[in-house]
Structure 1
Amino acid sequence: MLQVSALDLFYGDAQALAGVSLDIAAGEIVAIVGANGAGKSSLIRAIHGIETPARGTVRFDGTDITGWPSYRVCETGIGHVAEGRQVFPNLTVLENLEMGAVLKRARAAEKATLERVLAMFPRLAERRKQSAGTLSGGEQQMLAIGRCLMGQPRLIMFDEPSLGLAPAIVQEMFRIIRGLNEEGLTILLVEQNVMASLRIAHRGYVLENGRIELQGAGSELLSNDRVRQAYLGL
């Protein structure tokens, strides 16, 4: 479904990604793990058209989308739950969700999708008239996911979904991500929580200093000595 080939990305003279290649098949959860500054968020931003790579290609369902603006990437069916949630704080929960359905691909099913999202996240239904900025961190993350779902994505990229959340809420986030995958959504998961992400991932890639250093099944990477020492403290 998604194929990234030999991607290079620079911020000025600093190289953030160097020859990054990966692929995601329909129905998979693929995790990208690595330390702070490894290039994980840069990779998502390059895929989503927020940053323009210097070299390489991004293909979605065989179509070259390299360098497309973000709104066009969204229309192909790629959703993005950004790091830090980035809800509209002065809009209500309902208005935030409605913003997610502005895509042409999503308008016809907006009512049905809204009902599905509110059923999935009862707390959002309870707080639909409340300003998003007054929600807890976990509730805002649910809202960010719900807003993404309103756009009818086929693939969702999650950028650090557990960042800044309490441990109990972190477990809930990973349960939600696994549930979305079981419903048929393809997931690209960028996450510092290496153990939790590799436990639910079909496959994973380890990104270090802008390069893919390891790849394999999630269970294989969890048992890899290098991963265990560098990221799990074992």
Structure 2
Amino acid sequence: MLLVENLSVFHGDAQALDGVTLEVKQGEIIAIVGANGAGKTSLIRTIAGMHKPASGRVAYRGEEIAGWPSHRVCNLGIGQVAEGRQIFPSLTVAENLAMGAMLPRGRAQRDEALQRVYRMFPRLLERQHQAAGTLSGGEQQMLAIGRCLMASPDLVMFDEPSLGLAPAIVQQVLKTIHELNREGLTCVLVEQNVAVSLKLASRAYVLENGRITLSGTGDELLADDRVRQAYLGL
């Protein structure tokens, strides 16, 4: 479904990604594991069309998309739930969700998508007329996920969805990702909670200093001594 091959990205003179290769098959949850500064967000943003690679390929369903503007990538069926949520705080919940359906892909299924979001997150329905900036952190994350779903994506990249949330809310967010995957959504998960993300993942990649250093099933990486020592404190 998604192929990244020999991808290299620079921010000025600093190299963020160095020859990264990975693949995502339809229906999978792929976890990207790594320390802060390893290049995880740079990878997500490059796939999403927010950074232009210096070299390498990004192909979605066989179509080369590296360097495409982000609105074209999104309209193709690739969604992103950004780190830090990045909702529009002065707009209402309903207005934020409407923003997610602005592209042609979203407009075509707007009403159906909105009902799906409200079924999944009834709290958003209760607060649809409330300014998004007044929501709790967990509610804002629900809104960020809901806004992404309004574009009816086939693949969603989640960048640190549990960041800054209370443990109970973290479990709810990760359960939502699992349920979306069971409904057929393909997911790429960048998550600081390494143990949980590897348990959720079909397969996973370890990213260190802009390079893929390990890959395998979630269970294989959970059992790998290098992963256990570096990320699980075991």
TM class by shorter chain equals over 0.9
Amino acid at match of 1:209: N
The Cα of 1:103 is off from its aligned counterpart by 1.1
In structure 1, distance between residues paired with 2:52 and 2:9: 7
Residue 86 of structure 2 corresponds to 86
In 2, Cα distance between equivalents of 1:188 and 1:116: 21
- TM-superposed deviation, 1:63: 0.1
Question: Which digits, 9 at most, give the CA deviation of each residue in 1:22-51, with x for residues without a partner?
Answer: 000000000001000000000001101100
Residue 105 of structure 1: how far off its partner (Å): 1.1
Shift of 1:108: 2.0
Cα drift, residue 211 of structure 1: 0.3
Q: Match of 1:72?
A: 72
CA distance in 2 between partners of 1:68 and 1:190 (Å):
22
Moved more, 105-114 or 46-55: 105-114
TM-score under structure 1 length normalisation: 0.99
- Which structure 2 residue ranges, 5 or more long, are not aligned? none
Q: What number of residue pairs does the alignment pair up?
A: 234
What is the percent sequence identity of the aligned residues? 68
Please state if 1:178 is matched with 2:178: yes
What do the CA deviations read for 1:191-227 (whole angstroms, capped 9, x no partner)?
1210010010000000000000000000100010000
Give the TM-score of the pair, scaled to structure 2.
0.99
Mapped partners of 1:55, 1:36: distance in 2: 23
- Rounded Cα–Cα distance in structure 1 between residues aligned with 2:47 and 2:107: 24
Mind listing any 5+ residue stretches in structure 1 that lack a counterpart? Answer: none
User: What is the distance in 1 between the residues matched to 2:22 and 2:112?
Assistant: 34
Q: Secondary structure at the match of 1:32?
A: strand
Amino acid at match of 2:155: L
Moved more, 110-119 or 60-69: 110-119
Alignment-derived partner of residue 31 in structure 2: 31
Distance 1:97 1:76 in 2: 19
